[in-house]
Chain A
């Protein structure tokens, strides 16, 4: 009974999260474009699915993803082997990114842009090779990002110097990268971090910062995602500079 009530409360929360989109789309459809809403039944069922999905997701987050991220952070801290921790960090970053559907879509799109701009030969083979190379580049860069981010938490380096240094790197590289790749590079920072990676990596960072003496989970625990959004920009621009005829 108590758990049922908690579930219903969680569903009401999810409903509230969804309400703004429904309002925006409803308003533009009816008031601005002045068209009827098509397939109302589909929309209602779909909205119901979204609410159920979000509710289950949040529940699973608190039961599964957060605890395992934190317990592994504690276990690595207790084991005391920095090299294994860094290997884990790299594997997590690389492994979660290489198969990311959003990244696959962006890489294909980027290959088309590269052809249009005359950066690579205009045939299937070159395009696929370019897209695959880009995907591995981004996955590698996210692996490096999580590795550096974890090393930062362990050593207690202040995040702002690293991130701002990274931004300066991005700005300098923008001056040298082929113009066509810049938009893709800037966008690739945002698409790499998926809905499952984010909670896991956040829990890992916070867990590490709270299990290492002298680290503050608020100051040191966050920031892994920031690295994961920064390095792809640099690596994609680097890729664009290297792969051009």
Chain B
């Protein structure tokens, strides 16, 4: 355990080195001034590194093995259609996968709430908006988007419909929403698409996608396993704009 912790720490440090080199390089060579509160900044970096290492090792110990196993078990035909029963491919349609949808919905929501980079953006947005955007409000809005996105992505893998149609329609919805959205939310909403999918969500969601693509008859893991992340990055944009529109609409109704 100690060894695993140490290895993860080394790996995290290695990931951060190029970032630190760029920051300090530009600071010293181009800006040519000492970093304000140098000691505090370095302590902060050390906290981030140790924190991430603990976070990743903890996930690997507690949640990932079980979560990934679960994704495989839930998509296993033996679980879905009963043991040993001969599987008639023609009798399987998208409604046979009830628990998988529920799992996709629940895991999409819960992993997003625990996602550290979303927390970072939510803290910043709360600070910049002077409290107008709640840390929890934003996180829940994004999590709902991810949950719906992954569920629809699962539906797509099961039905085998082309990915790009969903994505194109999703973009169209974003474009239409953008026209009517309060201006202050647009940039933040676009950002929230990219921040949702990192350390916690990707491994579990990828396991779900690969598990499904390899057990659903007629799908190939290599070609159909992809695409869930794309859904998870598109739908939060829609849900965050919707959240802002709802808040605006309620405020307007209250004032009138």
Q: Specify the main secondary structure of chain B where it touches its partner.
A: helix
Report the interface size for chain B: residues with CB under 8 A from the other chain.
102
Given A193-B198, A226-B190: A199 and B114 interface contact (C-beta under 8 Å)? no
Residue A79 at the chain B interface, CB threshold 8 Å: yes
The docked-state distance in angstroms from the alpha carbon of A20 to that of B111 is 8
Residue-wise interface mask of B (84-114) relative to A, using a CB-CB cutoff of 8 A (1 in contact, 0 not): 0000000000000001000100110111011
Residue B207 at the chain A interface, CB threshold 8 Å: no
Pick the residue among B30, B50, B70 that contacts A56 (CB under 8 A): B50
> Is A68 a contact of B48 with CB atoms below 8 Å?
no
Q: Which residues of the other chain, B, contact A72 by a CB distance below 8 angstroms?
A: 23, 26-27, 31
> Is B226 a contact of A183 with CB atoms below 8 Å?
yes
Residue A182 at the chain B interface, CB threshold 8 Å: yes
Q: Specify the main secondary structure of chain A where it touches its partner.
A: helix
The docked-state distance in angstroms from the alpha carbon of A87 to that of B25 is 12
Residue B128 at the chain A interface, CB threshold 8 Å: yes
Q: Which residues of the other chain, A, contact B196 by a CB distance below 8 angstroms?
A: 190
B183-240 with Cβ < 8 A to chain A? 183-184, 186-188, 190-191, 193-200, 202, 222-230, 232-233
> Is A67 a contact of B37 with CB atoms below 8 Å?
yes
B interface residues with partner A (beta carbon < 8 Å): 1, 11, 14-16, 18-19, 21-23, 26-27, 30-31, 33, 35-37, 40-63, 66-67, 70, 73-74, 79, 99, 103, 106-107, 109-111, 113-114, 116-117, 119-121, 123-125, 128-129, 163-164, 167-168, 171, 174-175, 178, 183-184, 186-188, 190-191, 193-200, 202, 222-230, 232-233
